[in-house]
Chain A
Amino acid sequence: MAAADGTVDDAAVPAGQPAKAGPAWWYPYALIAPAMITFVIISLVPFIYTIFISFHEMKFARLGDFAGFDNYTALLTDSRFWNSMKIAGIFVAIAVPLEFMLGLLGALLLNRPLYGRSILVPFLFIPSMMAPIVVGLLWKIMLAGSWGLLSTNIIEPLGLIGDSSIFASPNLALYALIFVDVWQWTPFMMLAFYAGLQALPVNPYRAAAVDGASPLQSFIRLTLPMLAPLLVVIGLLRLIDAFKVFDSIFVLTGGGPGTSTEMPSVLAYKMTFEFWNLGEASALAVIVWLIFFAFCNVFYQLAKRKLNAF
């Protein structure tokens, strides 16, 4: 048995067997080295370089002079940036709670005796297994003005949205994108929560039943607390992911009409690959990272203290 200092506790060695020498000091580092080297090369170096670029002029992929906070100032005084943050805020504030609640509700239903569940569960994986670009194309086919399956057969004949189509409407396009996101990710949430429910111990529920607890009381007093770590982690991951959504927006609206669906990811793409203003695009990436870094830390501490989730 290894002691806390990493040495072998002689008393724990069975009689008659020679004591084994402890691992060399470098052994743990060697074990994690492949993962760390990969992480440094793939993530850390580009990230540090992004920060470096954000403090320089960089137009047309050419590194210019040190620019101090100029790129940050330009970005933070640009109404387009704040518009993108507002759009992302609306998107996340609606899509994630909806996915969360519908996912949890679906998981609770799945967790009950249900005929054909083993057939249904694999089908639920389909939306989240689809590439986001395919999801975008699929909903384009369904909702495109004048030729989309739902548009031509239901929405336009009933005059549901007036003279425009959903993705061309400045008032509806964002909500259509939220709908697409909910369609894609609710089943994933459902399955993740369902897996969590399946792993819960049954004894607390038996005890609660003996004590006469109602299903609602069992859910609030037992299921939610026991499931909290999973709910928190899945919710946080989904929130981060929803903030970064890009592919479906790119396919369905391109950030339009106007800038009504232009999330930070779409703006960053344009700044990088259309405007070739890599300095400002890097500043945007760093700001988004900072926001999430701060948010995740606060969220983590709160979840740890209040929900005992970690």
Chain B
Amino acid sequence: MVSISSRRRRTGSALGLAFVLCAGPAAADWSYKTAAEPYQGVTIRVLDEITPLQETLATLVPQFTEETGIEVDYELLNHFEVINKGQADLLSGRGYYDAIMLHGFQLGPMLSAEVLRPIDDLLADEALQSPEFDAADMIEPAYSTTAAFGDKRYGLINWNYNQIYWARKDLFENPDEMAAFKDKYGYELAPPETFTQLRDIAEFFTRPAGTTLAGETLDSDFYGIVMEGVKGGSTFLSLWGNFIKSYGGDIVDADGKPTFDSPENIEAIVAWADLWQFAPPGMAEYSLLDVPTVMGNGIAAQAIAWSDFVLGIDQPGAAPYAGKFIYAGMPHKEGMEAERSVEGETSVTAISVHSEHPEATFLFLQWLAERRQQEALLEAGNGGVPIRNSSWALPVMQEGELAGLFSAMEDSLKVIVAKPKMPDFYELYDVLTGISQEIGLGALTPEEGAAKAQAAMLDICETCLLD
């Protein structure tokens, strides 16, 4: 089957280059103050998702007003609300918000509804171009594959949400456990590089109450792995981005035709579903919030999780096991390292087609994405998800207690691409996440599930990509 990932990567790189070229020469006397003069006193409204990262970012926003005289009403809502309220505002034509944070998967439906304003004219406007923006520094292929569609760009990337491998350091460094693992599997206990190793570790650490773990008798059952399993969360995204694509599969081909029942996909689903036997019995209820909670409470040995949610757990005092974790890049299929794929939800803040202040809004988005703001965000010490390559070199990323987490993020972001732009993404996702959950629970075999998913996809769209 032809993967659409590599084609997108090439397109993305080309668009990234085009962006750099059209950015034009830096004007020596350019400043936000002069660029914002026509928009003094204007108030723009920006909707973003609330996590500890955005709360930190919110503290930087007043500096923009100070520099430009443009007032910013920066509103933060939770993941589900920012999707619902943001989309409702865009689709209804109400136009309350000038710019709205959109996850990569939202772009297909929103582009299809033609409610996002292309920003090519703003990017090309020398009066608005900051010489400090430096598009070449943005992490690729995430940036181009997210913000660009066709020959147009929509918004600037702001959040590179990504998944990482997460495990209990105290268990991985326990001499008894290390020796027992080597005896049983014939290789050293370490963060897995392959899905087979991931399974071995999951199997090894799955133990019933009354047995020992790292020399301690377990009061309750302990599990080898935890992943997201809830219907409606990002369960299927994880299966798709981490497993299916790493096995060389995808849910659509280059023409957008559904390919869910391909042999590669079934092989990947088998590997993913096999892990459920080593997971807590309630995993089918676990959302992206529950996975870190389970890890923080020491119920499981390893996890596949969103790195930004890890930040809320691996902080002093935040959870009983905070500070006892290691992180790594996502495993891959044996012999297919080059095809390795990691689930990411690269997100943009896009300007609404209904915005009455697109220039002022663009200035704000550009200001947010600039290096100095990104550095200030990360150096605030509350974690962060870089959007710039230069951010990886910051001392806080290299030397802090979370250096291992940032290293894992960097590893993930080397291969993360945006979701393909699908107008019917929500219908597809709702069906596919339900079927995934049924497969994980054993209600459907991988083959049955893949056949059901293929039929369901064909019911929704014969060609699923946005033209």
Contact A146–B299 (Cβ < 8 Å) = yes
| Cβ–Cβ contact A60 & B109, under 8 A | yes
B34, CB-defined interface residue at 8 Å: no
Report if A167-B426 is in contact (Cβ < 8 Å); known contacts: A60-B113, A258-B443.
no
Question: With a CB–CB cut-off of 8 A, which chain A residues contact B443?
Answer: 170, 257-258
A164 to B293, CA, bound (A): 19
Which residues on the A side are within 8 Å of B115 (C-beta)? 60
Task: Decide: B430 and A146 in contact? CB cutoff 8 A.
Answer: no
Which chain B residues lie closer than 8 Å to A168 at the CB level? Answer: 229, 281-285, 437, 441
Counting residue pairs across A and B whose Cβ atoms lie within 8 Å, the total is 109
Of A3-11, A34-42, A113-121, A272-280, the one touching chain B: A272-280
Asked whether any CB of chain B lies closer than 8 Å to the CB of A187, the reply is no
Binds A, one of B87-95, B163-171, B173-181: B87-95
- Check B434 against A156 for contact (C-beta < 8 Å): no
- In the complex, residue of chain B having the shortest beta-carbon distance to the beta carbon of A140: B285
Contact at B91–A61, with CB atoms within 8 Å?
yes
- Indicate whether B63 reaches chain A with its CB closer than 8 angstroms: no
One of A93-101, A124-132, A248-256, A300-308 contacting the partner: A248-256
Chain A, residue nearest B460 (CB) = A275
Asked if B284 and A165 sit within 8 Å, CB to CB, the answer is yes
> In the assembly, what is the distance between CA of A259 and CA of B435, in Å?
9
CA distance A157 to B221 in the complex (A): 9
Q: Roughly how many angstroms separate A140 CA and B281 CA in the complex, as a whole number?
A: 14
User: Which single member of A59, A163, A275 contacts B281 (CB below 8 Å)?
Assistant: A163
Interface residue total, chain B, C-beta cutoff 8 A? 40
Is B284 a contact of A61 with CB atoms below 8 Å?
no
Q: Which residues of A contact B231 (CB under 8 A)?
A: 253-258
Indicate the member of A144, A256, A277 with the most B CB atoms within 10 Å: A256
Kindly state whether residue B12 has any CB partner on chain A within 8 Å: no
Compute how far the CA of A170 lies from the CA of B231 in the bound complex, rounded to whole angstroms. Answer: 12
How far apart are the CA atoms of A273 and B106 in the complex, in Å? 13
Residues of A within 8 A of B441 (CB): 164, 168-170, 257
The smallest beta-carbon distance between B60 and chain A, in angstroms, is: 32
Asked whether any CB of chain B lies closer than 8 Å to the CB of A264, the reply is no
B282–A62 touching, CB < 8 Å: no
Q: B232 contacts A256, CB within 8 Å? A: yes
| Cβ 8 A contact of A146, one of B91, B281, B437 | B281
Interface flags for B211-222 (1: CB within 8 Å of A; 0: not) read 000000000110
Q: Is the CB of A170 within 8 A of B281?
A: no
Per the 8 Å Cβ criterion, residues 112-147 of B in contact with A are 112-113, 115
B427 & A275 in contact (Cβ 8 Å cutoff): yes
Q: Is A256 a contact of B109 with CB atoms below 8 Å? A: no
Chain B residues whose CB sits within 8 angstroms of the CB of A274 once the complex forms? 426, 430
Whether A165 and B282, one on each chain, are in contact in the complex, defined by CB atoms closer than 8 angstroms, is yes
Q: Do A258 and B84 touch (CB < 8 A)?
A: no
B390 close to A (CB within 8 Å): no
Does B251 lie at the interface of the complex (its beta carbon under 8 Å from any beta carbon of A)? no
Give the distance to chain A from B213, nearest Cβ to Cβ, in Å: 16
Q: Within the assembled complex, what's the spacing in Å between the Cα atoms of A270 and B433?
A: 14
Stretch at the interface among A20-28, A147-155, A188-196, A213-221: A147-155
Which residues of B have CB within 8 Å of A144?
282, 285
Contact A275 B91 (CB under 8 A): no
Contacts of A259 in B (CB 8 A): 434
0 or 1 for each of A59-74: is its CB under 8 Å from B? (1 = yes): 1111000000000000
- Give the residue name and chain of the B residue nearest to A148 (CB): B282
A-B contact pairs, 6 of them (CB 8 A): A144-B285, A163-B281, A165-B282, A257-B441, A273-B84, A276-B91
Interface residues of B (CB under 8 A from A): 84, 87-88, 91-93, 109, 112-113, 115, 209, 220-221, 223, 229-232, 277, 280-285, 293-294, 297, 299, 424, 426-427, 430, 434-435, 437-438, 441-443
Q: Can you add 19 more A-B contacts, CB < 8 Å, to A146-B281, A156-B281, A274-B430? A: A61-B88, A144-B282, A145-B282, A146-B282, A147-B282, A147-B293, A164-B441, A165-B281, A168-B437, A170-B443, A253-B231, A254-B231, A254-B232, A257-B434, A258-B231, A258-B434, A258-B435, A276-B113, A277-B427
